[in-house]
A and B are shown apart, each in its own frame.
Chain A
Amino acid sequence: MDMIKNYELQLAQRVGDGDRNAFREIVDDHKKKIFYFAYDLTGSTQDAEDLSQEVFIKAYRSMKSFNGQAALGTWLYRITLNTFLDQKRKKSAKIEKTMHPLDERLASQDVFDPTPGSGSPEQFTESRQMQVHINQAMGALSPRERAVFTMRHFQGMAGKQVGKILDISEGTVKSLLSRAMKKLQKGLGFYREILCKEMVR
């Protein structure tokens, strides 16, 4: 563990001194993780790219402040979350009205692997439609609810860890998660009923 910590600190120091190659190494190691975390938060590949690149730019600018207390990946996660929440706070209602809803951007831009067993075109369309609905339901969450749900559900983080990154208590994490799940249950009621019936069977 110390070896990794020292290595990360050395890399960070080199980036702080303006070494772009060291920065490239960090980006190569973390870009997929941060991109997909950004995708989980934003729901679109374009926004994920913009957000993740913003994160790396911020990291580049403030690499001197990285002190190795947390792992570099955790530090980047924190920047991703803070940037996402800041963007949501700053975005004015005027600009938001010009944005296409999450589902439209998903339908036009993103490519998914077909769900296993979904060989027929109908099944593929159904699967794609489900992705749209899931993203729509996620879009109904507040930024903080989405952040908490994403970290708990898609990133598999414990409540304590989520609280630490967001700088909130574990109780608040649970409360946000509970609200997020209630909203998702409402938005995905159709699928839930089908699944509940299947489970009873």
Chain B
Amino acid sequence: MTICKSIKKQMTDALYNQLPQEAETRFRRHLETCAACAREYEELTALEEVMSKRQRPKMSEVYWESYMDKLDEKLDTLDAAEKVDPAYSPHPARRTDWTREWLKKTRWFFIPAAAAALLVVGVSVGLFFAGPEGQKLVDNTIASVKKLSPAVAAHFDNVQPVLLDYATYTPETAGETGTGAGNDEDDMVMVPKSQVKKLLIENQLLKRVVAKNDDITLKNLMDELEMLLLDLSNSDEDKAATRKAVQKYIKDNNLLFRMKVLKQKHDREQKEKETFKPDVV
């Protein structure tokens, strides 16, 4: 029994010809005398035979030539994101100790503040369209939200039209008769998958920069956008069910409104920078 236990432990090494010579000889001799071990090893060999038929896909030369171009693009995007937000260095060593200490000390403030901001944003959905009071509330919300980097703002600009296409789509506006005579081809939003894929990569790269700050509002929004883009890139684009699910997701999570709130702050700051002129002496 003990010998069989020891032989079983050696089976994978024997399968991959990695047993030392002497051990191999003892192993083979045992299999000749023990039907149970022989059967078990035979099954492992059969599995190995099946797995050896597994093939790897053949990638074309064109694909390999474009591989580095794709990598370059991603590195350029990352570099651009980090240039506008030098505080968010990917190299922890570059951060000075005092920055780290400051972040540690003030974390207690930003997390509850961000949570409070989320609550206020949720409540202000109806108020936003209700006039000056609503606008004041949104302004207060915006004030509590941290700075939006230009790279993230640009990403929102890129994502927004896609979300709007889905959010505002109806079969009637797309030209369907409304009598239910439309087919699947009519009932779809025409956003190319390649565009969605590009936005997804952009989102995932920028998330890494966003993850380094304490802005939970922004981080959550980026996570939700990622999920949506992931679904869109994997979905069958010509199915009405997909379109409806996406519309519901956008609506339930107030994605467009939340992006708008965060962008307003950024746009306001940009405008202030452009109009500010230092005194000429």
Contacts and interface: CB of A to CB of B under 8 A. Distances in A.
Interface of A: 20, 24, 27-28, 31-32, 35-36, 39-40, 45, 49, 53, 56-57, 60-61, 94-95, 98-100, 110-113, 115, 127, 130-131, 134-135, 152-154, 156, 158-159, 174, 177-178, 181, 184-185, 188, 191-192, 195-196, 199
B253 to A, nearest CB: 13
Given A27-B67, A60-B75, A152-B12, A112 B58 contact: yes
Contacts of A111: 57-58
Contact of B90 (A45, A61, A95): A61
Contacts of B67: 27, 31, 35, 49, 53
B47 A185 contact: yes
Given A53-B74, A113-B58, A192-B50, A181 B234 contact: no
Contacts of B51: 134, 153, 184, 188
A199 B42 contact: yes
Nearest to B45: A199
B64 interface: yes
23 contacts: A40-B56, A53-B67, A53-B71, A57-B74, A98-B234, A111-B57, A112-B55, A112-B56, A112-B57, A113-B58, A127-B53, A134-B50, A152-B12, A152-B16, A174-B9, A181-B44, A184-B51, A188-B47, A192-B50, A195-B49, A196-B46, A199-B42, A199-B46
B227 A98 contact: yes
Given A57-B75, A98-B227, A134 B53 contact: yes
B47 to A, nearest CB: 5
B133 interface: no
Interface of B is mostly: helix
Given A53-B74, A61-B90, A134-B53, A28 B68 contact: yes
Interface in B179-205: none
A135 B57 CA distance: 12
- Interface extent on B, as a size class? 35 or more
Contacts of B57: 39, 45, 110-112
B150 to A, nearest CB: 21
Contact of A45 (B54, B59, B64, B70): B59
Interface centre among A20, A127, A192, by most chain B C-beta atoms within 10 angstroms, is A192
B43 interface: yes
Nearest to A27: B68
A20 B74 CA distance: 13
B47 A57 contact: no
